[in-house]
Each structure stands twice: as C-alpha cells, then as structure tokens.
Amino acid sequence: MRPRSTWLIPVLAVLVLVAQDSGQQSAPASSPAPGPTVPAPQASTVPSAPNPSPAPLQPASTAKAASPDDESVATIRRTVNEVNVVFTVTDKHGHYVKDLKKDDFKIIDDNKPVDRISSFVNQTDLPLEVGLLVDASNSVRDRFTFEQESAVEFLNQTIRPHYDTAFVVGFDVTPEVTEDFTDNTEALSRGVRALRPGGGTAMFDALYFACRDKLLKQPHKGPVRRAIVLLSDGEDNQSHVTREEAIEMAQRAEVIVYTISTNISGMKGRGDKVLERIADATGGRAFFPFQIRDVADAFAEIQDELRSQYALSYKPADFKADGHYRTIEIVALDHKSLRVRSRRGYYAPAQ
C-alpha cells in the first residue's frame, strides 16, 4: 500500500482544476474576464425597438428637460397655444346678432393681433355644463321660494336630456351640492327644492368651489360650454377666498358667470357692484330684477343667450407658457354700433 500522502496529491490537483474551471464559467456574471476593454456602443448608434404602448406621463421637471425635437412635447405645445373663446354680440338695442362671419372680427391677444383663427362657429350648439349656485343665506329668506321655482323653470327649459348636464349648489357659510351633474331635470328640480335658507354668506367660496371642484374636474369627450348662474345679493361675509381669487378660478376653468341679484330694494347696493364685476370679468352678464317677478325673466334671457353665442379658436402671437394673465379683445369690424361681450382674458399655462 502506498502512503496516504502519495495518493492524496492527484485528488487535490483534480479538485483544484475543477474549482478553477467553475470560477471561469461564473466570472462573467460578476466581473468581466481579463482581456482588452471594448467600449460600449453609444445610445444614438443603436436603433430602438418600436414601443407599441404610449410612454407614461413624465413629471413636470422631466418634461422641461426634454429635447425640443421630441414629438410629444411638440404636441403639447400645439394644444396649449390654442385659445377657445365663447362670446356674444348685441346691437345698440341689446338684441342678439347671430349672422356675422369670421372676417367680421378682429382678435387681439395680449395687445397683439392673433396669428390665425383656426375655427369659427356662430349660434353654437355645444353641450352645456351649467352650475346653478343659489344663495341660501338668511338675507334672501323672504323671496327664496319664488327664486327656487324660477330656477326650476330655467333648468327645465335649458337642460336637454342626453346632451346637457347641470348641478345645483346651495350656499350659506359653506357650499352644499344638493344635486350633482345630471341631465335629469326632475332630479335637478328636487335639488333646487331641497335648498333651505339660513346662516351667513360665503359666495366667493361657493363660486371658487363650483369652478375648481366641479366644472374644472368634470370629464367630457369634446368641446363644451361651461356656465354658472349665480343667484345672490352679492353680500359676502364668510368667505376664505377673495372676490378676485374666485374670478381667477372661473377664468382658469373657462366659465361664463351670469349673476342674478336678489336685491329688490330698487337701488343698486354694494353687493350688486360685486355681481357686476364677476359677470363682466368672465364674459357673462349681470341681471338686476328689482321686482321679484322679474327673476323669471332674467333666467329666460340667460337661456336665450346660451343659444345665441359664437365660438372661436385662435393661435396667439408671441405666446409664452409662463403662467401670466393675457388679455382678450374681440372687435366687430365695420360695425361700430355692435357690442362684443367675452371673457376679458385667460391664464397661460405654466411650464
């Protein structure tokens, strides 16, 4: 018999060779094998495979750093550069003028003529999204029931099933949605009749809420006209936002605000001036029915105006996505006696 140390040597040698071979096979998984260094190919030289699914939306910070040649960025720019305006034209007697053409108007955006008008439609029949905001504070208690019935009649005459939608908000200290978006006029009527007067008045908060949390967030498949009918005496003593903040939110949501004063004293008060300011800034109209039976007439005129408007889209000159407020002026050429009423401006999107 050979000594143990003699036959152990070949066995140990085999084990060492097996270990070395195993280590060489697993080495690429952890570190490159020794040899000349080959530089990795540049990303621009490798064609990327087509991606059948759309790329996920990037955060704002990533979008800023994107290349100007990026197709998705270009698409976004084309979208934000298009401004949509709904406006009304009346003659010196206050009658609606409905037969004008695109060439009858000059559009001035931020004090500069626009590059081009991309679309123009008269007597627009776009679907309506209407918010009815009813002041339910103690100050309107005496005439509240009549105003409710006038509002019900307005909704019944204005909202078309399967086409328009509306919602009802009553407000005193806080806004309360008594009927959400629907085309069911019976449900809207129940929402109006469910309102009960009482408490203080937070009108600016209610307008801000209706624009930001209702109209601005309402999904829709195509273009719509957003409008709010605000029934109040204009006196606000409880709001957390200011009048101008409420107006700014309406402008951002592209909402036309029609105001109907509940002041029947026979004299315009401080609240009436507030209602005028809100309507004027958003392209709407303020109504002052000093007799209670005139409230129904005011609702009827709003309904008529909603069916007697023009809509156009245009591309501004020297547009900058800087979040600044830009003014809008629409002039009826060769028709000095005509009055054009639209929103006064809009906020450009911020990058």
* pLDDT at residue 276, as a whole number: 97
176: β partners: 170
User: For residue 210, what is the enclosing H or E element?
Assistant: none
* pLDDT at residue 124, as a whole number: 67
Tokens read off for 44: 């621009």
Q: Residue 143 CB: number of other CB atoms within 10 A?
A: 14
- pLDDT higher than threshold 50 for residue 76: no
Model confidence, pTM: 0.74
For residues 63 and 350, what is the distance between their CA atoms, to the nearest angstrom? 12
Name the average pLDDT for the chain: 80
Q: Is 177 helix (H, G, I), strand (E, B) or coil?
A: strand
Sole residue written with tokens 């008045």 = 201
Fold adopted by 128-306: Rossmann fold (3.40.50)
Question: 289-342: per-residue pLDDT in tens?
Answer: 988 788 999 999 999 999 899 999 999 998 888 989 999 999 999 888 999 999
What are residue 96's phi and psi, to 5 degrees? -75, 135
**Confidence band (pLDDT; 50, 70, 90) for 30?**
very low
For residues 36 and 332, what is the distance between their CA atoms, to the nearest angstrom? 77
**How far apart, in Å, are the Cα atoms of 280 and each of 196, 256, 260?**
29, 9, 13
Of 223, 205, 244, 251, the C-alpha closest to 309 is 223
Helix residue spans in 44-143 (DSSP H) = 60-64, 71-80
Contacts made by residues 289-298, CB under 8 angstroms, sequence distance 24+? 289/260, 289/261, 289/264, 290/263, 290/264, 290/265, 290/266, 291/264, 292/143, 292/146, 292/147, 292/264, 293/146, 295/143, 295/146, 295/147, 295/150, 295/231, 295/260, 295/262, 296/150, 296/153, 298/260
Most confident range, picked from 211-215, 232-236, 294-298? 211-215
* pLDDT at residue 108, as a whole number: 96
**Where are the chain's structural domains?**
76-123+310-347, 128-306
Beta carbons within 8 Å of 232's beta carbon, 6+ residues apart: 133, 134, 135, 140, 201, 203, 259, 260, 261, 262, 271, 275
- Number of residues written out for the chain: 351
Q: Are 299 and 154 in contact (CB under 8 A)?
A: yes
- pLDDT higher than threshold 70 for residue 136: yes
Sole residue written with tokens 């084990």 = 15
Sole residue written with tokens 């909402």 = 255
* pLDDT at residue 40, as a whole number: 38
Instruction: Give me the mean pLDDT over the 182-197 stretch.
Output: 95
